[in-house]
Every structure is written in structure tokens, then in C-alpha cells.
């Protein structure tokens, strides 16, 4: 029998939709939302009755509870940190609790679930405790799971790396928005990019990203800063990556053009398939042209040209 961990995210009811999108990025088996703000109408529309148990009537109508279910082999603290950072970026007040996880046990046991994996045609992600001998034109990236999201195991990260692999050249400088563990920045440099700048609102992510750059001996070609685009980034880049969530990507479109060279590539990921058309249309309205769209496991990544 498989064991799961449950993260419960409490937000104001008006923030439920945006928070649910963010939580879905992490969830392995989807999410379950408790929202009693419109209880009477919902019950009537479904069951056509107006007699509701008092226990339900007494529920908090001002907040929703988003239950996120993740496999036990995932680091629950890492997932919680990711959700918290993205909610902070959206200005969404929240409380997060974890059930069914002993963090001390995780510290001793999580290594057994994380092994060498191939992403795309050339990238091979290897944890520091495993040995791997590259063959042919393999690009080996050493990356340990930590308190920042992004180890290459999630479909959104894998799709983003596959698109990045196609367009990196010795002339393409990369800006990675919401860098997380730094996997896209580090991967881009290992693929041949001369430099990569990663930005994240979470100081833990910046710390982990710098550590991963050091492990892969690319610290001289990477930089990671804590903050947002307007505060910390200057200049223009040939490639911009954003593995975030749909709403944040849409909001980013008007700003990101200030940091992308004309003719440059924008790679967006972290998009639930049901919202992919919405995001892609918003990109087109902002002046971007779709070059490629990848889908896997209910997630979508899009490569666009400016």
C-alpha cells in the first residue's frame, strides 16, 4: 500500500482559485478543496434540498482549505517551501500544515527515492551520492534535492529542460525567472550558454541554487539573486525561462519583454493543460509567436519567439 503525505493550505476564499493553481504544480494525485463560502447554493443545485447539517453550517465561510496529496518519497518540506514562496509572490495570505511526515525520518531516508535520470537527449541529472560516467555528448548535472523546488523529477521541469536543450548556443545568455533549485540556469550553462541569471523571491531557493552551481563548477557563469525582476535584473537576454504557474506567467508577459532581446526565446512551463490555451493566447496578444508546445502528464511547456 502506497503512503501519501498531505499538505493543507489555508487561504481566504477569494484567493482559492489562484492558490489551487499553485498547489496543483506540486500535487501527485491532484488536490481537494474545502470551500464552504457558497454552501447553501451549492447544496441546493446538487441535491435540491435546503436542510443542511449544522456541522457544515458551522464551517469557516471566509477561508478555504486546499488539501495537496504528494507521494511519501517526495520531500514534504521542499514542496511546502515551494507553495509558500509562490503564494507569497502572489500576495496570498496562507497557513500550511503537513500531516503524515516525520522530517527527521525524511532527512535520513529520502536519498533512496532519488536516482540518476535522463532528461531530453543529452542531459543526465545525477545525485551527488551516485556515480555516473557520461557517454557520447551527455551533459551531466549533479543536483541534490533540497528546500527549493526543482530536481528534474516534475514534468514541468523536464519539459522546460527539453525545450531549453533545443535552443541553447554559445551566444545565448539566459534569464531564469523563479529559478527554484537553479536547475534551468545550471543546465543551460552546462549545455553551452555563456551565462545564466536566476531570480527568485525565496532566499532559500537562491542559497540552494548557488550550492548547485558550485557542485557543477559553473559558479563563474551563473548568478542567483533574491527579489523580483524590476528590482534586481538589468539588460536583455537571448533566452528567458519561467517555470512558474499560469497566472504568474500571464502577469509576467508585459514585463518580461523589457529583458528579452528582439528575436529571443521565451520558454514558459508549470502550466496545467486545461489552462494552456489561455496562457498561449495571452502570449500571442503580448507579441510572442509559438514555436513549439510540449505536453506530458497533464502539464504543458511552450517555446515562443519574441
Residue ranges of the domains in the chain? 4-109, 155-305
Q: What is the pLDDT of residue 181?
A: 84
**DSSP letters spanning 42-89:** HHHHHH------HHHHTS-SSEEEEEEEEETTS-HHHHHHHHHHHHHH
Say if residue 197's pLDDT is above 80. Answer: yes
Task: Encode pLDDT of 199-258 as tens digits.
Answer: 988 887 888 899 899 999 999 999 999 988 767 888 999 999 999 888 889 999 989 999
Least confident of 1-15, 45-59, 170-184, 242-256: 45-59
Query: 155-305: which CATH number, 3.40.50.150, 3.20.20.80, 3.10.620.30, 3.40.50.2000?
Result: 3.40.50.150
The dihedral over CA atoms of 273, 62, 80, 242, expressed in degrees to the nearest 10, equals: 40
Say if residue 110's pLDDT is above 90. Answer: no
Residue with cell 509562490: 86
Strand segments (E) across 77-135: 95-99, 117-119, 123-126
CA distance linking residue 122 with residue 134, whole number of Å: 10
Least confident of 60-69, 98-107, 111-120: 98-107
* pLDDT top residue among 75 and 290: 290
Are 237 and 174 in contact by the 8 Å Cβ rule? The answer is yes
Tell me what the mean pLDDT of segment 78-106 comes to.
77
Q: What is the pLDDT of residue 28?
A: 63
Q: Which helix (H) or strand (E) holds 132?
A: none
The CATH classification number of 4-109 equals 3.30.70
CA distance linking residue 121 with residue 278, whole number of Å: 29
Say if residue 285's pLDDT is above 90. Answer: yes
Query: Going edge to edge, which strands form the sheet with 117-119?
Result: 117-119, 123-126, 139-142
Which residues, listed in sequence order, are joined to residue 296 by a DSSP beta bridge? 299
CA distance linking residue 3 with residue 1, whole number of Å: 6
Q: What is the pLDDT of residue 51?
A: 37
Say if residue 11's pLDDT is above 50. Answer: yes
Decide whether 4-109 matches 155-305 in CATH topology. Answer: no
CA distance linking residue 8 with residue 31, whole number of Å: 10
- If you count them, how many residues does the chain have? 306
The dihedral over CA atoms of 22, 24, 27, 28, expressed in degrees to the nearest 10, equals: -150
With left for phi above 0 and alpha for psi between -120 and 50, is residue 227 left, alpha or beta?
A: left
Query: Could you give the residue ranges of the DSSP H alpha helices within 168-288?
Result: 183-190, 203-215, 229-232, 246-256, 276-285
Amino acid at each position: 500500500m502506497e503512503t501519501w503525505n498531505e499538505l493543507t493550505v489555508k487561504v481566504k476564499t477569494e484567493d482559492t482559485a489562484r492558490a489551487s493553481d499553485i498547489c496543483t504544480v506540486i500535487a501527485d494525485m491532484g488536490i481537494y478543496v474545502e470551500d464552504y463560502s457558497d454552501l447553501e447554493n451549492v447544496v441546493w443545485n446538487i441535491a435540491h434540498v435546503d436542510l443542511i447539517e449544522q456541522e457544515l453550517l458551522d464551517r469557516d465561510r471566509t477561508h478555504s482549505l486546499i488539501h495537496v496529496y504528494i507521494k511519501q518519497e517526495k520531500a514534504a518540506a521542499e514542496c511546502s517551501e515551494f507553495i509558500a514562496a509562490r503564494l507569497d509572490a502572489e500576495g496570498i495570505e496562507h497557513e500550511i500544515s503537513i500531516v503524515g511526515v516525520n522530517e527527521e525520518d525524511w532527512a535520513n531516508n529520502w536519498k533512496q527515492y532519488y536516482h540518476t535520470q535522463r532528461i531530453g537527449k543529452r542531459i543526465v541529472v545525477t545525485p551527488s551520492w551516485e556515480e555516473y560516467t557520461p557517454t557520447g555528448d551527455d551533459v551531466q548535472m549533479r543536483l541534490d534535492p533540497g528546500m527549493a523546488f526543482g530536481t528534474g523529477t516534475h514534468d514541468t521541469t523536464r519539459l522546460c529542460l527539453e525545450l531549453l536543450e533545443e535552443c541553447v548556443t554559445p551566444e545565448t545568455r539566459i534569464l531564469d525567472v523563479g529559478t527554484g533549485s537553479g536547475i534551468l540556469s545550471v543546465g543551460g550553462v552546462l549545455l553551452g550558454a555563456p551565462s545564466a541569471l536566476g531570480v527568485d523571491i525565496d532566499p532559500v531557493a537562491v542559497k540552494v541554487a548557488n550550492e548547485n552551481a558550485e557542485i557543477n563548477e559553473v559558479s563563474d557563469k551563473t548568478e542567483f539573486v533574491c527579489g523580483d525582476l524590476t528590482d534586481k535584473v538589468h539588460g536583455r537576454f537571448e533566452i528567458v525561462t519561467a517555470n512558474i504557474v499560469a497566472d504568474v506567467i500571464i502577469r509576467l508577459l508585459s514585463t518580461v519583454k523589457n529583458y528579452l532581446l528582439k528575436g529571443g526565446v521565451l520558454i514558459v512551463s508549470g502550466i496545467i493543460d486545461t489552462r494552456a490555451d489561455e496562457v498561449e493566447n495571452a502570449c500571442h496578444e503580448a507579441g510572442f509567436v509559438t514555436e513549439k508546445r510540449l505536453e506530458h502528464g497533464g502539464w504543458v511547456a511552450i517555446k515562443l519567439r519574441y
